Every structure is written in structure tokens, then in C-alpha cells.
Structure 1
Amino acid sequence: MTDELAGRIAALMPRAKADLAELVAIPSVADPRQYPPEKCRQAAEWVAAAFGEAGLRDVHLEETPDGSHAVVGHRPPPPGAPTVLLYSHYDVQPPLDDAAWTSPPFELTEREGRWYGRGTADCKGNIVMHLTALRALGDDLPVGIKLVVEGSEEQGTGGLEAYVPPHAGELHADALLVCDTGNASVGVPTATTSLRGLTNVVVTVATLKGDVHSGMFGGPAPDALAALIRVLDTLRDAEGGTRIDGLDSTGGWSGVGYDEQQFRTDAGVLDGVRLTGSGSVADRLWARPAVTVLGIDCPPVVGSAAAVPATARARVSLRVPPGTDPHAAQEALVAHLKTAAPWGVHVEVAPESTGSPFRAATGGPAYAALDKAAQEVYGRPLSFLGQGGSIPLCNVFARTFPESEIILMGVEEPRCLIHAPNESVDPGEIEHMAHVEALFLKHYADSPRP
């Protein structure tokens, strides 16, 4: 069956390319300030039509609380068979710097064996992966299928997160394939099992009633920007690792590692610049808190005056690993920033949103079925990967469906450059991961139920 199924999927790849080209051509950026909202609606309708044609029933659009539209549909299971939810999203990041793209961002372009365009990997490539797997199986679907493809994941406005709990009965499944991640590298089948959580704060430093002339008052008059720099510098140790009082920064990662040179290449680290922190790259990226200064409000260089700044502020982001409560981490960050303030300066810290970390349980029948499928397609066992980013929906799924297995997988890998100019996908990953998904559905149907 594996060889026959592989042949079917290979024969479907020209259609997969055509589908992806049509989807990429729709600039479904979920930000009405930049792109017309009807483009997101157009993408949603394309997705609904495609999955209806692929054999799902009652595929339609549901408006979510943030105004975006989710595509939902289903196909009932054969008697006694489990049900699998397939997830992805059709909204994409904006192109950012159009001039940095080698080819037009909303035009699928093949170059050196890869397909380029915004959304080719994140996440329209995963939509096409789902479609290819379903088409290859045809009427021979051994499990029930539920589908949800959302339209505001990149905007982060939480439409689907709010939609899921009151519609739990419609979306419940034994296993949930959250296809918004991918493999550690091309040819290495991988499930993402760990996601860091997130908390942000805005810290404001005030020293004077107003800016004063640096020639008349500079020296004794406390410089708010200098004070802010002192405060922010205390968030890192001498090696650049995150150091926040009351927060453990010694965690270790036990899954697949991340080669340091590969990380330098993937992250675009300049020659001669050392990586920050200590321990393995995987430790620092997936198992420990990580602080980032996202922005600073202060006088710009161009147009700056000879004045001592009276106020300055910064937005600070803290990623937290599984096992760390994001609210407790936020409290530790706030206390640290206030305690670190020099010279008696006035400090205010305004907390922003928090997001919980996620860790998947990997000992169930769905993971066993996925591992078997991965070995048949790639010739190697399934690897486990962490991700430094957050997917809040995973925690919503975990709370709403505590008995269900959640698997994060997909066609993305480091060379895809998701969210950056020149995003691309390896078409071989679409083909092979569609094969893995199709085999998974067959193996999972045969798995003993708990």
C-alpha cells in the first residue's frame, strides 16, 4: 500500500503546485490597514471549495469573534473508527520589504528546486499537504475527519481561540493535527512537542519634570535614557544569557538538537558575532526563558537636541518554557525591572498580554502511528523538536479536549524563512509529509484505542 500511495501522491504533485500557486496569488494578509479584507474572504472560500471537492461534507465559513472566518467541515468516521482534526491557517504575514524579494511575493516562483512566495510554507503549504493526503486516499478514508482552517493566526487576535470552547462538540476529535510547524531540516521527520509561552511589559523611566539643556544641567541631572539602559542591561548576564531574579534559567532540552553553525546560518548571525547565553542552542532556544527588548521610545538621532532626556520607555518581551507559569514569570520580570532601577529614578511597568507554554504528551497511539508513518516514508524515526515561538491555540485545544492527542507537524523547515522576505517551501516536503499524513490516518485507524 505504501508504494501505491506514494505513486498516487507523486501523481498529484502538479495539482498541488497549481493549488499552491492559486492560494499564494491571493494576498490574504489579515490586516485591513494594509490589505483589503475581501482577500481573506476570497482565500477562505477557495479553501472551502477545495476541501469540499476533496470529499469533506458541509464545508462552510464560520465567523469567529474577531470577525475573521474559519473554514470548517467534516466527514463522519466508519463504525468504531477514531476522528482526526486537521488544522491550518490561510492568512499570511505581509511581505515586509518588497524590494528584498527576488521574485514577486504573491506569485509562486520556482527557483533552484524550491517554490517561493508568501505563504508557500506558512501556512498555505500545509493546506495543500492536507488536500494532497485526502485526495490520495479518496473514498478510502479509514477515520473520521474534522477540518478547521482559520484566518487570523498571524494577526494574533484570537478569533479561533475564542471560537473553539463554545463549539467543542463540533470540533472534538481523538487526535488533532496542528499543521503550522515542520521538520528540523529537509528529510528529518519531526513533531514539535514544546512551545514557549510569552509575556510582554512596557517599562517607563522618569527622572525630570521635563527635558533640560545638557550644557546647563548635564552631569548631575539624571539621564532617563541612560537609566533605562542600565535597567535593561541587568536582564542579561555577562555571556548574554537571560537573568531575571526569581526565574530559573538552567533548563535543558532532551529532544533533537540544533547544530550551532546551522542556527547561525538560519538566524543570519554576522561573522564574528558570538551567540548569547550558555548551554546548547536547543537549551537556550526551547528550554529556557529568553528576554528581548522589542523597542525603545527615546529621542531619535536625527533631529535630537542637546537635552537631558526626562523620560524613556521600552517594550520588553519574555519567552517562557514549559513548566514556567507565564503570570509568575511576568511578576518576576516586573519586580526585577523595578528593583534594578538606579539613582532612585521613577519606574512604572505596565504588563501586557501573556500566553502559556505548551508541552505535548507523546506516549499515545497517535504518536505511535505517526512514528510508524514517518519511518515508512523517510526511513528514520520521528524526531521531537521544540519551538521558541508560541501557538496559543494549542493550549485552548489542550484545555478543551484534555483526552485528545495534539500533534504539531507540517512542511515548514528552517530554509523556508517564514515571516521573512523570500519565503519558500521544498516541494519534496509537501509530497513526503502528505504521504506521512495519509499513512498516519491509516495506521491510526488500526491503533488500539485506550
Structure 2
Amino acid sequence: MVFTVVVAHACLQVLLHAAGQRTSGALGPAAELVFNLVVDALLLFAPARPRAVGVLVVLAAAIARVADLAAPGLLTSTDALYAGPVPLATPVAVWILVYLWPTPTPAPTAFACVGALALLNAQPWAPTWTGLYVGVVYAVLPAVIAMYVRARASLLSSLRERVEIAERERHLLNERAIVAERQHLAAEMHDVVTHHVTEIVLHAGALRTSTDDEAVKAAARRIGDLGSRTMVELRDLIGVMRSGERAAPAGVTCDRDCARTAAPGTCGRDCPRRAARSTDDRGGDLAELTGSAGASLRVGGDPGTASPAISRAAYRVVQEALTNVRKHAPGARVSVDLRHGDDAVHVEILNTAPTEPADPSLVASGSRTGLAGLRRRVSLLGGTLRSGPTEQGGYLVTASLPALVPAEDHREPEGPASPDPPSP
């Protein structure tokens, strides 16, 4: 900004010289032009050295006035085209000293320089209306305007800062309200939903032990297994909701009372609790699920590296994607790719373009919120889910989940123990 203003002012001085403003002293007709250009060059250093530049500008004005008294026409033109200040860059110098002074408020040095420039241009030793006009308009007025603009800019900055603080406080209050509502929902789920699911598991166990019909026993066993799995998923969800935060990424301790860690805050591959938890409650059999849907399944890595909550979430992603394929893309070929890493689990479900028209009644039977619900579930676990059509007319669903998340201490719901192992 300073460079642009100074260059523009120097161009103005060159134009005035070309228009006929000359000096008649011993230093030649271009003495005033050279004198003013030197002062302009000094102003380029004003932002970094304001005090030194201010003193030098005042000294230049004093030298010009002394030269004007001792030898008129030496540094200033005796027949100037207009009544201007000495040096010609006085208004620019005043503006830089007052507005761009690098402190919250201009220092007394700046006002002292402005006062000295006003006196030197007003020439109180030979008072005239023209001199008073030059001193006020070219020295005092720029200082007043610069102080007003500077104060206004400071006020706007303060107001903007207050607005930002208020906005942050509003977001904080919103976050607190969300956390409070989440905890309230967690309490309701714990008090109501888990109670009814526990009753379902108990009644299913009682039905299984009180009947001799194998079909009824199998149905009761299936109901009990689904109820137990639902209880585990509810505990995971309630644990995340009560924390008020998203699940931590991979590398956190695998359980609250884990006694072995590879490093502070991390869980080793050989952790016994991790190994024990990685072998049960996987959320479902992916091979059976993909096989019944006619999809190809490819599994990479060690499934034991993922915590149960992550495995269940990956299963739900595949389940929802295959359900959507059956509804919206009949006849399409589907491939499921599940890759387990030390830090993350990646799921990819890709189907080709449908070869048959979709059944309108089947399409209309959905709630159209399956992927949105999955996206929220994956987000709560600290992962991401993306979905969208492919260029070949198919559809791609990808999910990336952390391998480990903090989880509640899983316990089976109270009730009669089942002699049969739960379904995978």
C-alpha cells in the first residue's frame, strides 16, 4: 500500500515539473523535483522506521524553509503552479505516521512531527492566509482523518472479534445441548429398550426349554441370539452416546481395564483381551450373507485386528448395500471387498448396471434412509462412508473404519444360559 501511494505521488511530482514548475536557484531548475523525490524515497521506510522517517521529513521541511528564506527559489519554486506544502509529500507523510504507526495508538513522536510540519508550512514568522491554509489542510487535516479511519478500523476489528467470540459460544452451547440430548437418549435407550430386549431374550430362552418341537426350539434360539446381539450393539451405541464424543481412532486401548499395552495409549497385537474379544460377536457371517445374495466376497488381512463394534458396523454396511442392490439393481453382479489392516478396516461394495427392471413395489417398500443411517453410525465410530453411481452405470459404496474403538465391557443379558453357541 505504501509503495503504491509513494509511486503515485512521485508520478504527480514529475507531471508538475513537466508542466513548468521549476526552481531558479543555483542548484538548477530540477532541484525541487529531486528534493521531493528524495523525501518520497524516505517514506518507503516509514512502516519499519516511523520515528526516524518522521524526524527526517521534518528536517527536510526545515531545510526547505531555511533555504527559502536565505535564497528564494533554491529548493522551492517562487512561481509554483499551486499553493502546496513543503515538501510536497507532507500529506502522505502525515498519513503514514498517524494511520500506519505500528502500535495500538500513534506515539507522541508522530504528533510532534505532525505539529512541526504544520508550523513549518504555516510559516508563523510571516503569517498569511495562504500559509495558514497550507498548514491546516496539508498537515493537520490528514492527521485528523487518519485518526478517525484508524479508530473506525479498530472499532470494526473489535466488533468482528466480539461476533466471532459470540459465534464460538453459540456453537459451544449447541454442542453442549447435543451432548445433553445424546446422553438423555442413551439413558432412555438403556432404561426402556434394553429392558424390553432383555425380556425378549428371557422369554425366548424359556420357550426353548419348555417345548419339544425342534422348529420352535430353532426359532426361539434364533430369537435369543438376535436379542443378545442387539443388546451388545445397544451397549456399544449407548457407550458412544454417553461419552458425547466420536469414537477414538485406531490405536486406543482396547478395553477399560486392559493391563497390557504396547505403548501408552495403544494396544499391542498380542493383547490377551483384544485376542479374546476378536473371536466372538462378529456381527454376522459375511460369507453366508454374500452367498445368499449371489455376490463375490474377498477378505484380506486378519479379521482379529478389528474390535467387535467395527466388525458389526462393516457387516451392516455390506448388508444394507446388498439390500439396495436387490431392490434397485436386479440382475447386477456384485463384488464385496473387505480389507483388515492394523489401524483401519476398509469395505467396498461394487455392483454393475442392472440387467432387469426394478420392481416398483419393492423399491417403494424402503424408507430411503438406510445409507444415511449407516453414514451416521460409521461417523459415530470415527469412520467415513461414501456412496455414489459409477461411470459404467453401477453403484459403489465404500466405508473406512478405525480398527479399534473404545467399547463397554460386554456382558450377556441376564437370563438362562444357552447351551448352544450364538450364531456368528
Tell me the TM-score normalised to structure 2 length.
Answer: 0.22
* Bigger share in strand: 1
Q: RCO higher in 1 or 2 (8 Å CA, sep ≥ 6)?
A: 1
